[in-house]
């Protein structure tokens, strides 16, 4: 068989093996294969301070292990193998190739290249691309000792005038330019774009797999496709949407919004407002939202109910805690005269007045669970009393790892604002 025939056969075979999204060929000259490296089940990415912020913003759920922050990863963005055929492939020469990958350093890519070169030496004279792709998918991470965890090594960008045409690590992005590798342009890569891409890719693939997986609902015992199921975090318990909707609705109607948890017995994973909104109808969601506000209010220690018999008004202490300001005088008798349940009435008044004016003005929502949190003195590093998320009172960004860095890093917009309250505004109390 001539080299030309062997090359055409190889391209045909690759076309048959790989999906069109995975393999693209440039006629008979070469092509590109996207390699999805197989990861072990319990694979983790360790994050540095700055990286954990970007991971959190992209929606990753951070975990902590021995003081280090990490995220579980099931799918990494593909590694790209680009190849060009020389005239004497496969009889004499190997394909020219480049490997680009956002999450590997050039040094790591060089280790992989050495293995590919060895595979070629062992199989010289035969078409090689399937063997290479198979190695990259199944063995390359083992060779890099990335068996259950990894950290991303960032590199300086090589100056343009001396770039290495084989470069393709995370220090550079190699755009898909047709033709010669010399035409490729090199850009700096940042932790922000790298981490965001990794997290987005992983979450999107997990969501795709979740949708098509069949789960057995622990409430109604039917087998239901993931697309019709709800998964709670962090417990990962899964129930069918129908049962969860019923579970949410009953709890909201009975006013137990803080008990809006995963239905599993003794499981404390909380429903997030978005899940509730997706499932229950608009009026129930409104009720849920205002009850959440009410319970937020109850948890604020400078709001209490007037102890005088027959009064029960919502009152707030002023900052010194000595004087009592009446928020709204609404006597029980008046409420009764209006033939309304006094408690209901007060509650609604409280929701309307305390809710909209006081709480919205004086509280902020936890960036992760939506609970209204009020700040009473102290520093601007807040802890949500519902979900324990740390966040910044000034900018309401969540601060998961080393929350104080947010106030100590000169690059942060809240640098030096650990104690100063930029937007404090007490005029409402006057």
Nearer to Zn ion, 181 or 237 (CB): 237
395 is catalytic: no
CB of 225 to Zn ion, least distance (A): 12
Is residue 172 at the binding interface for Zn ion, with CB under 5 A as the rule? Answer: no
H or E segment at 229?
strand 229-231
- DSSP per residue over 324-336, as a string? EEES----HHHHH
Residue 189: count of CB within 10 angstroms of its CB:
20
Nearer to Zn ion, 101 or 238 (CB): 238
> In angstroms, what CA-CA distances link 237 with 44, 209, 241, 257, 347?
21, 16, 12, 19, 35
Nearer to Zn ion, 122 or 425 (CB): 425
Nearer to Zn ion, 128 or 262 (CB): 262
User: What's the gap between Cα 217 and its chain centre?
Assistant: 25
Is residue 384 at the binding interface for Zn ion, with CB under 5 A as the rule? Answer: yes
* Through-space distance between the first and last CA atoms of the chain, rounded to whole angstroms: 93
Is residue 369 at the binding interface for Zn ion, with CB under 5 A as the rule? Answer: yes
Q: CA nearest 100: which of 188, 34, 29, 30?
A: 34
Query: Binding segment for Zn ion among 33-41, 197-205, 254-262, 314-322 (CB under 5 A)?
Result: 254-262
Is residue 237 at the binding interface for Zn ion, with CB under 5 A as the rule? Answer: yes
**Over the Cα atoms of the chain, what is R_g?**
29
Is residue 145 at the binding interface for Zn ion, with CB under 5 A as the rule? Answer: no
Residue selected from 26, 137, 197, 264 as contacting Zn ion according to rule CB under 5 A:
264
CB of 405 to Zn ion, least distance (A): 11
CB of 73 to Zn ion, least distance (A): 22
Rounded CA gap, 49 and 257, in Å?
34
What burial letters (b/e) apply to 306-336, b meaning 16+ CB within 10 Å?
eeeeeebbbbbeeeeeeeeeebeebebeebe
Is residue 366 at the binding interface for Zn ion, with CB under 5 A as the rule? Answer: yes
CB of 197 to Zn ion, least distance (A): 25
Rounded CA gap, 128 and 135, in Å?
11
| 233 within 8 A of 269, measured Cβ to Cβ | yes
By CB under 5 A, what part of segment 183-222 binds Zn ion?
A: 217, 219-220
Is residue 418 at the binding interface for Zn ion, with CB under 5 A as the rule? Answer: no
Is residue 414 at the binding interface for Zn ion, with CB under 5 A as the rule? Answer: yes
Helix (H, G, I), strand (E, B) or coil at 180: coil
- Per CB under 5 A, residues contacting Zn ion are 217, 219-220, 232, 235, 237, 240, 243, 262, 264, 267, 269, 366, 368-369, 371, 378-379, 381, 384, 386-387, 389, 392, 394-395, 414
Active site residues: 379
């Amino acid at each position: 068989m001539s080299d030309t025939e062997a090359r055409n056969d190889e391209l045909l075979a690759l076309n048959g093996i790989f999906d069109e999204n995975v393999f693209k060929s440039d006629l008979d000259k070469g092509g590109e294969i996207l390699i999805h490296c197989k990861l072990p089940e319990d694979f983790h990415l360790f994050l540095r301070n700055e990286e954990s912020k970007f991971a959190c913003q992209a929606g990753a759920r951070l975990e902590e292990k021995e003081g280090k922050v990490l995220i579980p990863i099931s799918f990494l963005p593909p590694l790209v193998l680009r190849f060009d055929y020389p005239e004497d492939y496969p009889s004499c020469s190997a394909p020219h190739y480049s490997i680009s990958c956002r999450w590997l350093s050039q040094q790591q890519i060089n280790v992989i290249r050495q293995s590919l070169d060895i595979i070629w030496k062992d199989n010289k004279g035969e078409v090689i691309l399937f063997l290479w792709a198979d190695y990259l998918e199944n063995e390359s991470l083992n060779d890099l000792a990335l068996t259950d965890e990894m950290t991303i090594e960032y590199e300086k960008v090589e100056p343009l005038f001396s770039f290495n045409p084989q470069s393709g690590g995370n220090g550079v992005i190699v755009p898909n330019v047709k033709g010669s590798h010399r035409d490729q342009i090199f850009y700096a890569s940042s932790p922000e774009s790298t981490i965001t891409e990794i997290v987005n890719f992983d979450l999107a693939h997990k969501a795709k797999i979740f949708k098509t997986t069949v789960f057995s609902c622990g409430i109604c015992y039917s087998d239901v496709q993931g697309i019709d199921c709800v998964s709670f975090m962090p417990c990962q318990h899964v129930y069918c949407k129908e049962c969860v909707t019923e579970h949410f609705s009953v709890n909201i109607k009975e006013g137990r919004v803080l008990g809006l948890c995963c239905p599993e017995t003794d499981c404390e994973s909380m429903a997030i407002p978005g899940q509730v909104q997706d499932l229950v109808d608009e009026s129930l969601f409104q009720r849920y939202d205002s009850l959440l506000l009410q319970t937020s209010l109850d948890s604020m220690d400078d709001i209490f109910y007037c102890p005088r018999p027959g009064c029960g008004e919502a009152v707030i202490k002023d900052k010194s805690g000595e004087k009592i300001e009446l928020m709204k005088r609404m006597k029980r008798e008046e409420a009764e005269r209006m033939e309304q349940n006094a408690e209901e009435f007060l509650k609604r008044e409280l929701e309307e007045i305390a809710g909209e004016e006081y709480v919205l003005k004086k509280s902020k929502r936890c960036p992760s669970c939506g609970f209204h949190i009020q700040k009473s003195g102290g520093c601007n590093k807040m802890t949500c009393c519902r979900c324990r998320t740390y966040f910044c009172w000034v900018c309401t960004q969540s601060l998961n790892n080393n929350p104080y860095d947010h106030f100590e890093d000169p690059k942060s917009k809240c640098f030096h604002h650990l104690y100063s309250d930029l937007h404090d505004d007490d005029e409402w109390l006057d």
